[in-house]
């Protein structure tokens, strides 16, 4: 059995210092005044409005996105103008590709990276046709290999480094447009996800499809929040980030605001969300005594059945209700962190496991 669970890529979500309990950490997201990054022509200044490949007058469109510093430390909200005609999209993570397929853009996706598991059933056939640029995080060289004219996805990957595809400015200099999804922003929530659907709908002139997709997720989340099985109830939950030398590491989830919001929709209170340091101590977890523990499954990772069995056999955890009552549940990493919307369908499945169908 491997000693570490998802440390290789959750490390991007968590910093590396090891604390013994709840600590403090400064935010990695900085917002400034919104500024326009791309100048465009319009009828107001005497030039024709840009047209898309079908000749309509939808373009240019402007949406709010981000620019990220080369080290990933500073996020700057920007209003970017797009002129359309994008035919070779690179999705820097699997969830973004999934969302774009659901928007009817499968035939324009030239490549995808960070593929950590099978595609959801509703998009699996179309996803299988997309070239996988890298199963892990793509480099700038790998990205350029598919000759994209547009890159979309997680902001923490628009950086310089082994797993970075380069900054927004780098891509702009090469004539490649970009969109950083709002689901990865500081304090992201369900509205951030809806903003991504809206924005991608505008950028690619598929607003009707975007409207249908928004309606679907609004109806889904409303059904989660109104489910009588857990109405007025709250259960404590903790999440394991990885296994270190046979012991579970309960990483802080203070920055995982959109995930914590989703858990709360089904009556689960993530105790990891209250700790701003990197880790929650075993002592804290025992004292909080969660009734549910979740961990995350991904392709190439450890066997979940073996991992869960090892937790049940761990004497140090034996007084925790989730261990005593055999309530350790594996969730799909892509669904929870990919930004595709599968976070919310996963909550429906998790609610069925916790409360019964």
pLDDT digits (tens, 9 = 90+) for 128-176: 999 999 989 999 999 999 999 999 999 999 999 877 899 999 999 999 9
**Measured distance CA(356)–CA(229) in Å, rounded:** 8
Structure confidence at residue 56 as a pLDDT band (50, 70, 90): low
Asked if 7-26+232-355 and 35-185 have one fold, the answer is: yes
Cβ neighbours of residue 312 under 8 Å, at least 6 residues apart? 323, 326, 328
Q: Which of 7-11, 22-26, 132-136 has the highest mean pLDDT?
A: 132-136
Q: Span 13-28, mean pLDDT?
A: 34
- CATH number, domain 7-26+232-355, options 3.40.50.1980, 3.30.70.20, 3.40.50.620, 3.30.1540.20: 3.40.50.1980
The count of other CB atoms within 10 Å of the CB of residue 355 is 15
- Tokens 């709010």 map to which residue? 64
Q: Beta-carbon neighbour count of residue 337 at 10 Å?
A: 27
Q: Please state the rounded mean pLDDT for residues 311-320.
A: 94
CA distance 278 to 28: 13
Q: Where are the domains of the chain?
A: 7-26+232-355, 35-185
Given phi > 0 = left and psi -120 to 50 = alpha, else beta, which region is 70? alpha
The CATH number assigned to the domain with range 35-185 reads 3.40.50.1980
* Beta strand segments in 83-216, E: 89-91, 109-113, 132-134, 150-153, 177-180
- Residue 101: other Cβ atoms inside 10 A: 25
- 293 and 323 Cβ atoms separated by less than 8 Å: yes
Mean pLDDT lowest for which of 82-86, 133-137, 161-165, 296-300? 161-165
């Amino acid at each position: 059995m491997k000693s570490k669970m998802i440390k290789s890529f959750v490390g991007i979500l968590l910093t590396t210092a090891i604390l013994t309990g709840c600590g403090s950490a400064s935010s990695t997201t900085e917002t400034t005044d919104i500024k326009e990054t791309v100048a465009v022509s319009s009828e107001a200044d005497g030039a024709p409005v840009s047209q898309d490949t079908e000749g309509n007058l939808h373009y240019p469109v402007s949406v709010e996105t981000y620019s990220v510093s080369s080290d990933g430390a500073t996020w700057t909200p920007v209003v970017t103008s797009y002129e359309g005609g994008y035919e070779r999209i690179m999705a820097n993570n699997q969830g973004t590709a999934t969302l774009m397929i659901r928007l009817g853009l499968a035939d324009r996706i030239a490549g995808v990276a960070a593929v950590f598991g099978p595609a959801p059933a509703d998009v699996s056939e179309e996803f299988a046709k997309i070239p996988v640029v890298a199963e892990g995080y793509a480099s700038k060289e790998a990205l350029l290999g598919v000759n994209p004219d547009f890159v979309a996805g997680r902001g923490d990957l628009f950086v310089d480094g082994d797993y970075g595809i380069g900054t927004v400015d780098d891509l702009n200099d090469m004539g490649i447009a970009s969109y950083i999804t709002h689901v990865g922003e500081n304090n992201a929530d369900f509205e951030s996800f809806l903003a991504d659907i809206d924005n991608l709908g505008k950028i690619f002139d598929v607003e009707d499809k975007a409207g249908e997709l928004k309606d679907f997720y609004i109806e889904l989340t409303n059904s989660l929040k109104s489910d009588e099985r857990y109405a007025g109830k709250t259960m404590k939950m903790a999440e394991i980030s990885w296994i270190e030398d046979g012991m579970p590491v309960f990483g802080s989830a203070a920055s995982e605001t959109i995930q914590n919001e989703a858990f709360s929709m089904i009556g689960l209170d993530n105790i990891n969300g209250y700790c701003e340091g990197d880790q929650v101590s075993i002592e804290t977890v025992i004292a909080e005594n969660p009734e549910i523990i979740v961990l995350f499954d991904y392709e190439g990772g450890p066997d979940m059945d073996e991992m869960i069995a090892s937790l049940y056999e761990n004497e140090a955890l034996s007084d925790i209700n989730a261990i005593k009552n055999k309530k350790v549940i594996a969730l799909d990493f892509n669904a929870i962190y990919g930004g595709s919307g599968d976070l919310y369908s996963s909550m429906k499945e998790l609610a069925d496991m916790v409360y019964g169908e």
